[in-house]
Amino acid sequence: MASFTKRATVYFDPEIHHILKLKALETNRSISDIVDEAIRLELAEDAEDTAAFKERSNEATITFEKLISNLKTDGKI
């Protein structure tokens, strides 16, 4: 974990908390480390999604109806 950390209170469903405790025991890590890693991975995924949206922002758009029509025309549905 980073040398500078902040404390937060997080409430889990009892079953999720139990699973986290078991995972912490199995991996010799703290629940904090597991949650921190999960949040970092989620935020990284969000950053990738945002970058993909930005890259594609200038692409032409079509309506759903036009997409369906094109797929039917191409014999794909």
State residue 2's pLDDT score. 56
Provide the whole-model pTM: 0.65
Residue 4 placed within a domain: no
How many domains would you assign to the chain? 1
- Listed in sequence order, the residues at least 6 apart from 68 whose beta carbon sits closer than 8 Å to its beta carbon are 77
d(Cα 73, Cα 44) in Å, to the nearest integer?
39
Residue 19 forms part of a structural domain? yes
Residue 3 resides in a domain = no
Considering the chain, what is the average pLDDT of its residues? 93
Q: Which domain holds residue 45?
A: 14-73
pLDDT above 80: residue 3: no
